[in-house]
Amino acid sequence: MTDTGAGEGTHTPLTERGTRTRERLIAAAREVFEQRGFLDTRVSHITRHAKVAYGSFYTYFPSKEAVFLEVADRLFEDMTQSSPVPPDPESSPADASPAARIRRANRAYYEAYLRNAKMMAIVEQVATFNEEFQEMRRKHRAVSVGRSAKAIERWQRAGLVAQDLDPEMTARALAAMVDHSLYLWLVQGDDPPATERLLDTLDTLNVRALGLPPTP
Amino acid sequence: MTDTGAGEGTHTPLTERGTRTRERLIAAAREVFEQRGFLDTRVSHITRHAKVAYGSFYTYFPSKEAVFLEVADRLFEDMTQSSPVPPDPESSPADASPAARIRRANRAYYEAYLRNAKMMAIVEQVATFNEEFQEMRRKHRAVSVGRSAKAIERWQRAGLVAQDLDPEMTARALAAMVDHSLYLWLVQGDDPPATERLLDTLDTLNVRALGLPPTP
Amino acid sequence: MTDTGAGEGTHTPLTERGTRTRERLIAAAREVFEQRGFLDTRVSHITRHAKVAYGSFYTYFPSKEAVFLEVADRLFEDMTQSSPVPPDPESSPADASPAARIRRANRAYYEAYLRNAKMMAIVEQVATFNEEFQEMRRKHRAVSVGRSAKAIERWQRAGLVAQDLDPEMTARALAAMVDHSLYLWLVQGDDPPATERLLDTLDTLNVRALGLPPTP
Amino acid sequence: MTDTGAGEGTHTPLTERGTRTRERLIAAAREVFEQRGFLDTRVSHITRHAKVAYGSFYTYFPSKEAVFLEVADRLFEDMTQSSPVPPDPESSPADASPAARIRRANRAYYEAYLRNAKMMAIVEQVATFNEEFQEMRRKHRAVSVGRSAKAIERWQRAGLVAQDLDPEMTARALAAMVDHSLYLWLVQGDDPPATERLLDTLDTLNVRALGLPPTP
DNA sequence: TATGAATGAGTTTTCATTCAT
DNA sequence: CATGAATGAAAACTCATTCAT
């Protein structure tokens, strides 16, 4: 959980009622951001949507950026928690093959992306001009890339992946491929391909690029 | 070449002098955009930089968006013209191998990206909120993805690439990989890796994902 | 009462204080309009005059036009309320004669015009270019012309006015005479005649045009 | 012909070609004014319409007001020349009766108004804010009111009109009636009555107000 | 004369943030 | 805590008029 750094004048609510108001504002903010984007969202839109007085917004957040960071933080939580599919102990050996795990991870990420597509668009928007937010995003990316790199190294040690690949660079590049493909498709609306065709292609390219044996 | 559509009051210069002023404004706009981003650029910044009167801006462009489209159009021109590396007739057979061509194309794109990194950042920014611009970008992307898809098909017919890959989807995914990797690195400044390490990884993943024979 | 339609961002005040500020703005607007005309009035003039911050204007009105409509609406209220002189029950029969009533109505209208001369000038100005306002004015005129037409019909049935006159057209024409005469004199400042001389003439022409018996 | 007072830098054209350009500009100005009103007309509209370079406008007129005054001057010429219907020597005695002359004058004015309705609207607009123009208009009005007053006096001496009417005031009031009625109808578009019905009413009211014998 | 570019003061409107109640 | 009014610094854009060629 990234520290959103509550500043002067704003404080974490103490009373039950305060907590409720704050949550209402966060929920409203997310909905409004999704509808209008960060730039076109006015604080008044958020308060109106949350059915809260204009001034109350500043009781809980020092600025528009501040709510956004909170909303984004929760979003990242959702996006990354679902990613690392825990090894299912009950699953057959085939399910545990690297190719199968990549497939499962990709599908999970796709599901999460689909669920959050609107906010992902806003996230991209804010990332283009807000440094603080860029940093937050970089950290999240580093974590998940690190995780993938670790897996690749493991597979290299197991002789499943070619030794000449740089695990870190590879993890980055493949993550960029999946991430950006989904972005262009789900957010920018590049002529929608058949879902399965795109996901299959991503799985296959991933697996072949790494030189892994295909899923049986 | 996108038609920016000169409207009421704005016009294409009819004299030498007018053309010069217009060019000065475009050049200045690009520089200012690069320095401050689209959102933080004021028309006054541009005119000051171009050393023309405030009002002169509106003699040639109806809005900040309009100059931006013109600047971006030229940028895309540069980014895509360099991409399709013409087959060098004098080159050895090895240079003409698919792997070699991919490598050359990637390098060329990298060079162009490096040259235009600052503007690519702004392009990404504007793409997050300006529909007209999104459309322009989509078109450019479609053209270059189409080109790659054609090459893949050719290689499939020659038995160099597996038949089960969807050329269109594959071209998209690989383009997304290269594009976004460069973006994260050159624009977002994700801890800069050694240049060669990243480029090599991209080449290799590309080639292996397609199942092409490696460069000798 | 015309609905000025509060839009996005502009609202009807909810508190005592808000109402006061809004009224201050309306009063200031009227005074400034009177002094400088609509075209030469700046929103800043109004806020300065009302001693509120520039931005406060937009808390209550979406534009200069909007306050004007409100000011004009109140003006019309005043101009027409005074018109229909209530039949004085204590008055002698002579006072109730058509000629006497016309005379009284004209005088009342003159008083109102005098009281509002400055604003009537602005009203005329705005009527020359603002469609919304033209419509509002048309409605007001229709109401008062309708009232006069009704009276003329009554007099026709009573045999006091010639049957061959079209009540509607007649009411219009006579209203135009009185209205425009006052306008040219009080607003455009056509060489000021002796008040009584003009008013008497208007009364007389009115009465004779209708063929009514003169006031005794 | 009112002197429009050509100011500094502008001069009456000397060459044949110059005269043509100037006329083109005046004609274009009238058309554009009619279409968009004075306030919404830009100098560029006029030059474009006249197919003349922007700068050329200022070769012939010192300002937008200046062309307007010239256009208006010609308009007034047309409006007043048609008014004083010359006594037709061939006409029957009945045609020369005051009632007949009033009728003819009203019809002639109506024709002229109809022909120039669009410009009359603009004239009214400019009259609300331009002092110089107000003065010009006042003079024109004085001339035609004077003419009517003279006629009334003549009719009074001939015992056709009641002695108690002030000729000047009467002429003013009746002119205001006709003028404003036509304005409200032809310019402001108050629900268009049947032409004849309005004109007849105006004639009749005029004649009866003066106490003239009706047309046979 | 004719042409078209250059100028820049002037206005409206927006909206995040601060205050008073 | 809640409420809603108050604030005022921006910024974009217009367009009559002046200039340079």
Report the CATH number that the domain containing residue A21 is assigned in CATH: 1.10.10.60
**Subunit contact A197:B169, Cβ cutoff 8 A:** yes
Residue pair D214/D99 in contact by the 8 Å Cβ criterion: yes
To the nearest whole percent, how much of chain C has pLDDT over 70? 88
- Position B145 scores a pLDDT of 94
User: What is the signed CA dihedral for A176, A181, A186, A189, rounded to 10 degrees?
Assistant: 130
CA distance C57 to D216: 64
**Residue C2 class from Cβ within 10 Å (0-12 exposed, 13-18 middle, 19+ buried)?**
middle
Residues of chain D contacting C121 with CB distance shorter than 8 Å = 128
Report the CATH number that the domain containing residue C122 is assigned in CATH: 1.10.357.10
Asked if residue A90 and residue A125 are part of one domain, the reply reads: yes
The string of pLDDT tens digits covering residues B41-61 is: 999 999 999 999 999 999 999
For helices C98-127 and C167-182, angle between their N-to-C axes, nearest 10 degrees: 60
Subunits touching A (CB < 8 Å, at least 3 pairs)? Answer: B
| Mean pLDDT calculated for residue range D175-195 | 90
Contacts of residue D114, defined as CB under 8 A and 6 or more positions apart, other chains included, come to D186
Using the predicted structure, report yes or no on whether residue D13 has a pLDDT greater than 80: no
Query: Gap from A43 CA to E17 C1', in Å?
Result: 10
Residues spanned by the domain of A92: 67-210
Chains A and B touch, contact meaning at least 3 pairs of CB atoms under 8 angstroms apart: yes
**Subunit contact D169:C197, Cβ cutoff 8 A:** yes
Of B102, B161, B205, B210, which to mutate for an interface test with A (greatest number of A Cβ within 10 Å)?
A: B205
For helices A64-81 and A98-127, angle between their N-to-C axes, nearest 10 degrees: 170
Task: Indicate whether C215 belongs to any domain.
Answer: no
Given A128, A141, A200, which is nearest B128 (Cβ)? Answer: A128
| pTM listed for this prediction | 0.88
**Subunit contact A121:B127, Cβ cutoff 8 A:** no
Residue nearest to nucleotide E2 (CA to C1'): D56
- Position D3 scores a pLDDT of 42
Query: Gap from C41 CA to E14 C1', in Å?
Result: 20
| Mean pLDDT calculated for residue range D196-202 | 94
Task: Indicate whether B46 belongs to any domain.
Answer: yes
Distance from CA of B136 to the nearest CA of A (A): 12
**Subunit contact A190:B138, Cβ cutoff 8 A:** yes
User: Residue B28's closest CA among B14, B41, B16?
Assistant: B41
Q: Which of A81-95, B123-137, C166-180, D122-136 shows the lowest mean pLDDT across its residues? A: A81-95
Asked if residue D195 and residue D109 are part of one domain, the reply reads: yes
Task: Indicate whether D77 belongs to any domain.
Answer: no
Alpha helices in C37-166 (DSSP H): 43-50, 54-60, 64-81, 98-127, 131-157
Distance from CA of A141 to the nearest CA of B (A): 9
CA distance D201 to A98: 98
Interface of C with D (CB under 8 A): 37, 39-40, 121, 124-125, 127-129, 134, 138, 141-142, 162, 164-166, 168-170, 172-174, 176-177, 179-181, 184, 188, 190, 193, 197-198, 200-202, 204-206, 208-211
Q: pLDDT averaged over consecutive 10-residue blocks of chain A (216 residues)?
A: 42 78 96 96 96 95 95 89 53 74 94 93 93 90 93 96 95 97 91 85 97 84
Residue D183 in 3-state DSSP?
A: helix
**Subunit contact D37:C128, Cβ cutoff 8 A:** yes
CA distance D178 to D183: 9
- Position C2 scores a pLDDT of 41
Burial code (b: 16+ CB inside 10 Å, e: under 16) for B103-129 equals bebbebbbebbeebbbbbbbbbbbbbb
Contacts of residue A178, defined as CB under 8 A and 6 or more positions apart, other chains included, come to A106, A109, A202, A206
The string of pLDDT tens digits covering residues C118-127 is: 999 999 999 9
Asked if residue D125 and residue D31 are part of one domain, the reply reads: no
Task: Indicate whether C197 belongs to any domain.
Answer: yes
Task: Compute the mean pLDDT over every residue in chain C, rounded to the nearest whole number.
Answer: 88
**Subunit contact A177:B180, Cβ cutoff 8 A:** yes
Query: Gap from D44 CA to E6 C1', in Å?
Result: 15
Using the predicted structure, report yes or no on whether residue C18 has a pLDDT greater than 80: yes
The string of pLDDT tens digits covering residues C77-118 is: 888 875 445 455 555 555 679 999 999 999 999 999 999 999
- Nucleotide nearest B17, CA–C1', reads E5
Given B40, B177, B211, which is nearest A208 (Cβ)? Answer: B211
Using the predicted structure, report yes or no on whether residue D23 has a pLDDT greater than 70: yes
| Mean pLDDT calculated for residue range B80-85 | 59
Token pair 């009704």: residue: C150
**Subunit contact B134:A188, Cβ cutoff 8 A:** yes
User: What is the signed CA dihedral for B6, B7, B10, B13, rounded to 10 degrees?
Assistant: 40
Q: Which of A150-164, B87-101, C130-144 shows the lowest mean pLDDT across its residues? A: B87-101
Query: Gap from D43 CA to F14 C1', in Å?
Result: 13
Chain D residue with minimum CA distance to C190 = D138
Domain final position from A31, A62, A93: A62
Query: Gap from B40 CA to F10 C1', in Å?
Result: 12
Residues of chain B contacting A164 with CB distance shorter than 8 Å = 204
CA distance B195 to A157: 25
- Position B215 scores a pLDDT of 76
Using the predicted structure, report yes or no on whether residue B97 has a pLDDT greater than 70: yes
Query: How much is the CA Rg of chain D, to the nearest whole Å?
Result: 20
Distance from CA of B199 to the nearest CA of A (A): 9
Asked if residue D160 and residue D106 are part of one domain, the reply reads: yes
Asked if residue D101 and residue D47 are part of one domain, the reply reads: no
Subunits touching B (CB < 8 Å, at least 3 pairs)? Answer: A
Residue pair C207/C100 in contact by the 8 Å Cβ criterion: no
Biggest distance spanned by C-alpha atoms of chain C: 62
Task: Indicate whether A5 belongs to any domain.
Answer: no
Interface of A with B (CB under 8 A): 37, 39-40, 121, 124-125, 127-129, 134, 138, 141-142, 162, 164-166, 168-170, 172-174, 176-177, 179-181, 184, 188, 190, 193, 197-198, 200-202, 204-206, 208-211
Would you give the DSSP letter of residue A52?
-
Given B134, B164, B181, which is nearest A176 (Cβ)? Answer: B181
| Mean pLDDT calculated for residue range C47-64 | 95
User: Residue C86's closest CA among C94, C96, C76, C77?
Assistant: C96
Using the predicted structure, report yes or no on whether residue C5 has a pLDDT greater than 70: no
**Residue C7 class from Cβ within 10 Å (0-12 exposed, 13-18 middle, 19+ buried)?**
exposed
Using the predicted structure, report yes or no on whether residue D6 has a pLDDT greater than 70: no
Using the predicted structure, report yes or no on whether residue B4 has a pLDDT greater than 50: no
Q: How confident is the model at residue C7 (pLDDT cuts 50, 70, 90)?
A: very low
Task: Indicate whether C104 belongs to any domain.
Answer: yes
Token pair 């690029």: residue: A209
**Subunit contact D129:C37, Cβ cutoff 8 A:** yes
Distance from CA of C11 to the nearest CA of D (A): 30
Token pair 């500094």: residue: D8
Chains D and C touch, contact meaning at least 3 pairs of CB atoms under 8 angstroms apart: yes
Asked if residue B113 and residue B195 are part of one domain, the reply reads: yes
CA distance D111 to C197: 32
Read out DSSP for D21-82?
HHHHHHHHHHHHHHHHTTTT--HHHHHHHHT--GGGHHHH-SSHHHHHHHHHHHHHHHHHHS
Residues of C (50-69) placing their beta carbon closer than 7 angstroms to any atom of strand E are 54-55, 57-58, 62-64
Task: Indicate whether B136 belongs to any domain.
Answer: yes
Token pair 């049947």: residue: D194
Using the predicted structure, report yes or no on whether residue C198 has a pLDDT greater than 90: yes
Residue nearest to nucleotide E20 (CA to C1'): C17
Asked if residue C183 and residue C128 are part of one domain, the reply reads: yes
- Position D91 scores a pLDDT of 54
- Position C195 scores a pLDDT of 87
Q: How confident is the model at residue B11 (pLDDT cuts 50, 70, 90)?
A: confident
Asked if residue B137 and residue B47 are part of one domain, the reply reads: no
**Subunit contact D168:C121, Cβ cutoff 8 A:** no
The amino acid present at C213, given as its one-letter code, is P
Asked if residue D105 and residue D176 are part of one domain, the reply reads: yes
Residue nearest to nucleotide F10 (CA to C1'): B42
| Mean pLDDT calculated for residue range D146-153 | 96
Distance from CA of B209 to the nearest CA of A (A): 4
State which nucleotides on strand F lie below 7 Å from a protein beta carbon.
1-21
Asked if residue B90 and residue B29 are part of one domain, the reply reads: no
The string of pLDDT tens digits covering residues D83-119 is: 445 455 555 555 679 999 999 999 999 999 999 999 9
To the nearest whole percent, how much of chain A has pLDDT over 70? 86
Given D138, D173, D202, which is nearest C201 (Cβ)? Answer: D173
Asked if residue D101 and residue D203 are part of one domain, the reply reads: yes
Task: Indicate whether C74 belongs to any domain.
Answer: no
Task: Give the total number of structural domains in chain D.
Answer: 2
User: Residue B171's closest CA among B134, B146, B196?
Assistant: B146
User: Length of chain B in residues, anyone?
Assistant: 216
Asked if residue A116 and residue A83 are part of one domain, the reply reads: yes
